Structure 1
């Protein structure tokens, strides 16, 4: 395949041979349920994902953190399986199972041998469609989540990244912590979480993806039989839930600086500004910019801040892409006395890219890095399963390896410099966590080159 596969919601069947001899198929059931598979030649395992396009940004009607709370509760039992039964089902076959809550989706997933795919589909279907959300288990899991939040609050990097999202996004729901706060979790009621469950966990919201040793027709049949057995009304016709709007929201136009004083040996500092959405055509260019700036041991941030100056062990650039907004940032862990210096160096390095661009050698090296990393990642059926889910829920197109590499090859020196200039034009917010001085962020300014 040499072009992306569009995934319109009103097309019931799509099939294509893609790169490396793999086969892509998608079925949209009349109930709105969507099933995507990628058969991979020679695979002996299968990764399965049950996706619901609801995340922490969708919690205006319930206590913040309810989506993540619900994710925990789905492992606590159904009318047919206890929590122990769910765990044993995968442990007895050497499989893996877990879940994740993000800002725009929730995913329950498993990886098993090819002979255990039917079991994985059945257990996950039972969990997603028939969770008891037991009253006693609700209070037990509340305590577990409070411990999880406490653990994150002890991690300076976690705190810094949560606060920088709030600074860049302002009142936008994407600025909220995924797990909520101790106060919101304490306030969450079972009735609220059950209402959240019943609102979003329906056939027209569900996307199921399988990659590896998978037969599409068999997977569809097994899934439908399981969901019908567990009580979902698949005979009720409905279109799939529409994808999210891509209309850009109004984000804060003024930068924010936050100092969080903690008695720590090392401080974390993060600088960030609004970035690209997940459907922006410049995503490949953004990947190059992020990698040149701080994506590896040869990156500018790593070489200057760690190798030459010895100011940090961990230093990097990163980006987050969502349906209608994005974030671009730089971060480092450093001694409290060096925060101001690291902040200045980060800004200077980015300003150099804005003013002068990157070199031909950097572009060539980075394209090789990204293309190689992309190809190696696809050795994992997990990566392919996640690619299917993100394609269906977020971007509305499936991009295989060949097309992804082609898009990277289109990145130019000028496009990287233009994107850097665009990013630099946004308000630059900063967060520092640790035993820092009150002036640690005084040097934070604009990323626009002088």
Structure 2
């Protein structure tokens, strides 16, 4: 097993570095600025590799992530599931490490190593003690830049992914959410499952996966993000050394890939999907097109979401569950992509009650679109947004995800104070305007349950 205590520092220039933002704690009683709570710095290396860090004084561990700006929406139909498949395979060995080495090296120091695939990016991430940052940097960079994509591991992981798809297919909530997205986005790659289908996974070859890897995992399309107990200059030296060892810095004249672009409005459709299953409950998702990433109206939409179904005090929770006892689960949510987004209500209930629950949801959405929300609801919704924002960024992992994503999708990196200012500025009129725009569109609906219950739906 390869054990790296540190990587040699390079004598070459580190690249172009700048401080993006500085977060401060609360001001003192004399009005003086509070102490620095965190500082975000960014370096671009020759070849376009971006390194972004957020130093958090007092932290004793670090969250690290190596991101690539490729997700399942980038796949052609013949490559369905390739992004997620590749994520699995990159854990299976490099020229320097076996699959066991990759998993054991961080486990030996109490660290964690994992990855996730989204529709617009993929992230390989680790969480380690501050003293083990060099080990984690080397493991992440090695597996992402130097995978061998061995044929026998491709076949092994094919079976694992087919098991994952089968497990996913056994969960009614997962199935109905995928069906809703497919109903909303139709043939668009956004409408397809991140895992791919059984047919597409069986059809993928090692050659296709290798070619996808070599095309997409280039330095100009990669971002290394780190948050917590990290020193920016040290992280830059470690990452640069690891990429030099792998000869992965690429053409030094290349700049970072531009932020993901998309049509101003991705095509959506209005459709209803019924999925027959012998389940005890009916699961459903009802929703409409909404705003894309970076849209300034996202703050008003966040408030609206909280009012409609964002917690136990929301309208739908109170009406459907508390007053009428029609369902145990009822909530709303908003999702944004580049050039597309949606707002939806989801829940589950007994088959005999699905008509009533869907009717209440439709009526409540129409009511909010017509009359807006109350001042009390506005303030409560804003308070929920403020709390979830601040508490959600208490740990280094959440900070790493925030800064990493900011390099790959529109919206920019805002300080917590800037985000709180945007939330505080949301007005009743803005929420009403957003409700009228979003809630009056023709909805898409996905419903899963027994045939008898589905037959009764209009």
> Into which bin does the TM-score normalised by the smaller protein fall?
over 0.9
Which whole-Å CA distance do the structure 2 matches of 1:166 and 1:19 have between them? 43
SS of structure 1 residue aligned to 2:409:
helix
Tell me what 2:113 maps to: 97
Tell me what 1:397 maps to: 412
Tell me what 2:18 maps to: 14
Q: TM-score, normalised by structure 1?
A: 0.93
**Map 1:38-117 → 2, pairs under 5 A:** 38-60=54-76, 62-117=78-133
Q: From the superposition, tell whether residues 23 and 316 of structure 1 become closer, same or farther in structure 2 (CA, over 3 Å).
A: same
**What is the CA distance between 1:315 and its match in structure 2?**
1.1
Tell me what 1:321 maps to: 336
Tell me what 2:401 maps to: 386
* Contact 1:33 1:204 survives alignment (8 Å): yes
Which whole-Å CA distance do the structure 2 matches of 1:214 and 1:227 have between them? 19
**What is the CA distance between 1:61 and its match in structure 2?**
7.1
SS of structure 2 residue aligned to 1:276:
coil
Tell me what 2:192 maps to: 176
Which whole-Å CA distance do the structure 2 matches of 1:122 and 1:304 have between them? 53
Q: Deviations over 1:185-216 (max 9, x none)?
A: 00010100101000011101000100111100
Q: From the superposition, tell whether residues 302 and 161 of structure 1 become closer, same or farther in structure 2 (CA, over 3 Å).
A: same
Which whole-Å CA distance do the structure 1 matches of 2:356 and 2:308 have between them? 17
**What is the CA distance between 1:367 and its match in structure 2?**
1.4
Tell me what 1:283 maps to: 298
Unaligned ranges ≥5, structure 1: 1-10, 443-450
Which whole-Å CA distance do the structure 2 matches of 1:37 and 1:377 have between them? 18
* Contact 1:33 1:207 survives alignment (8 Å): yes
**Map 1:210-249 → 2, pairs under 5 A:** 210-234=226-250, 236-249=252-265
Of 347, 350, 355, the residue aligned with 2:365 is 350
* Contact 1:62 1:192 survives alignment (8 Å): no
SS of structure 2 residue aligned to 1:397:
coil
Unaligned ranges ≥5, structure 2: 1-14, 26-35
Which whole-Å CA distance do the structure 1 matches of 2:331 and 2:456 have between them? 19
**What is the CA distance between 1:136 and its match in structure 2?**
0.6
Which whole-Å CA distance do the structure 1 matches of 2:63 and 2:400 have between them? 6
Which whole-Å CA distance do the structure 1 matches of 2:291 and 2:18 have between them? 29
**What is the CA distance between 1:287 and its match in structure 2?**
0.8
Q: Deviations over 1:281-317 (max 9, x none)?
A: 1111111111111111111111111111222222110
Q: TM-score, normalised by structure 2?
A: 0.92
Tell me what 1:203 maps to: 219
